[in-house]
Amino acid sequence: MATDLNAPLGQNRKERRAHKRDLRRLLRYSGLSLAAVAIMGLSAWSALFPVPLTRSPAAPTVAEANPVAEASSSGAPVTSPSPLKRSGALSGADVEEVLTDHGATVRKYTPRPRETGGPAFIDVGSTRGQDPRMAALPNESLLEDRPEGRLPIIGPDGLRPMEQYARPWSGARGTRIAIVVGGLGLSQTGTQRAIRDLPPEVTLAFAAAGNSLQRWMQEARRDGHEILLQVPMEPFDAPDNDPGPPALRVSADARENLAQLHRSMGQITNYTGVMNYLGGRFLSNADALEPVMRDLGKRGLLFLDDGTSAQSLSGTLAGAFDVPHGFADVVLDSELSRSTILRRLDDLERIARKGGTAIGVASAFDESVTSIAEWIEEAGGRGIEVVGVAALVKDPKHN
């Protein structure tokens, strides 16, 4: 047998082929050596010829994501940081308006070169409503400091207080009703209860002669209410029915009435407009009412007539001076009875279903607050949307 056992002491044995194992060992060590040489070579090359690392793609800047909203003076996107400046209404854009066949207005905003550098925001026009998180704070650009207080004005970009502080609504073409509850600020417990129990869709009117008005205003705004300022005016049966010293009077001249109006305006901020308290005689006198309406128009405020005087000229003069104006259709609580108030609310609903909209007014009596809150809770199920009063006034700017 040709085996190693048949070869004495290993004589005449065939030599093992150990060179294969040696070759594998040689290749392994050679590979390690080559790797070390490669690393040393790469290090030397990096030292002699430095190459910057490749940047990963950066997130798009505001200007790249929306070049209409932010652009440099040359029209290119701005990537370098610089202070952001809010400009006027249309200072950063050319605006083109097209009226479609359906009656809708389409606006096209295009950036245009500006004299100053850095990014700019383009304001796409005034909008109704205020960020709920800021609702208790006034828009400083809509205020002017006067001896009578901080008075509302139209902003430099044309934004009106009526638009800024209006309660947003759905925009749906359904049956809409506005309910205004006035007299807030005259009674602490009544005011607190009205703000607490009435849903935010109800507009609250604060009496200029009330107490702690700024505090109650902020609480009402935080809860989502649109608010009005209720200004006393001379009634027909004065002095038997006296609205008090702050009232606007037919016997006073225009300067006196405007000074009193401004003192009332300075009590609070964040209101969309003015509503009368009493005032049958004053509202029926064109000479007395004209300066007031002219002033409201210049300040971008609406006027709500409570509808109690058939001789009121507020609608006629409001149209002459571009004042957004509304008439109340129903006084809900002329009789303080839950059943009567609910019946008047049903009347208000019938008016709204016939004409599309209706406005009701009430005072912050316990019976009124309870009945209105109860009725509104069920009204939504009948397809009624309760909105802020600013949504229902006749606005010369849009109508």
Give CA angle at 203 (312, 142), nearest 5°. 85
The sign of the dihedral angle between the CA atoms of 337, 339, 344, 348 is positive
Q: Within this chain, do residues 310 and 359 fall inside the same structural domain, yes or no?
A: yes
Q: Within this chain, do residues 161 and 303 fall inside the same structural domain, yes or no?
A: yes
Say how many C-beta atoms besides its own lie within 10 A of residue 268's C-beta: 25
CA–CA distance, 228 with 271 (Å, rounded to integer): 5
Are 160 and 271 spatial neighbours (Cβ–Cβ below 8 Å)?
A: no
Q: Within this chain, do residues 117 and 206 fall inside the same structural domain, yes or no?
A: no
Q: Within this chain, do residues 99 and 154 fall inside the same structural domain, yes or no?
A: no
Is there a domain that residue 231 lies in?
A: yes
Is there a domain that residue 13 lies in?
A: no
Is there a domain that residue 256 lies in?
A: yes
Q: Could you list the beta-strand ranges (E) of 93-243.
A: 93-99, 105-111, 120-121, 143-146, 149-152, 175-184, 203-207, 227-233
Q: Which residues of 51-60 are buried (b: 16+ CB within 10 A; e: fewer)?
A: eeeeeeeeee
What domain range includes position 95?
Answer: 86-125
Alpha helices in 49-197 (DSSP H): 62-65, 161-164, 188-197
Q: Within this chain, do residues 143 and 90 fall inside the same structural domain, yes or no?
A: no
Is there a domain that residue 47 lies in?
A: no
Say how many C-beta atoms besides its own lie within 10 A of residue 266's C-beta: 19
Q: Within this chain, do residues 297 and 214 fall inside the same structural domain, yes or no?
A: yes
CATH number at residue 160: 3.20.20.370
Backbone angles phi, psi at 153, to 5 degrees: -145, 165
Are 323 and 399 spatial neighbours (Cβ–Cβ below 8 Å)?
A: no
Q: Within this chain, do residues 111 and 205 fall inside the same structural domain, yes or no?
A: no
Is there a domain that residue 216 lies in?
A: yes
Please count the helices (runs of H) and the strands (runs of E) in the chain. Answer: 11, 15
Q: Within this chain, do residues 175 and 224 fall inside the same structural domain, yes or no?
A: yes
Q: Within this chain, do residues 199 and 120 fall inside the same structural domain, yes or no?
A: no
The encoded tokens of residue 117 equal: 């550098």
Q: How many domains does the chain have?
A: 2
Q: Within this chain, do residues 233 and 320 fall inside the same structural domain, yes or no?
A: yes
Q: Which residues pair with 108 in a beta bridge?
A: 96
Q: How far is CA 125 from each of CA 88, 100, 264, rounded to the nearest angstrom?
A: 10, 19, 30
pLDDT in tens, the chain (399 residues): 444 444 443 444 444 444 444 545 555 555 555 555 555 655 555 555 554 444 444 444 433 334 333 343 444 444 434 333 334 444 456 667 666 665 555 667 677 665 666 555 554 444 557 788 889 999 999 999 999 999 999 999 999 999 999 999 999 889 999 999 999 999 999 999 999 999 999 999 999 999 999 999 999 999 999 999 999 999 998 888 888 888 999 999 999 999 999 999 999 999 999 999 999 999 999 999 999 999 999 999 999 999 999 999 999 999 999 999 999 999 999 999 999 999 999 999 999 999 999 999 999 999 999 999 999 999 999 999 999 999 999 999 886
Q: Within this chain, do residues 206 and 97 fall inside the same structural domain, yes or no?
A: no
Backbone angles phi, psi at 260, to 5 degrees: -70, -40
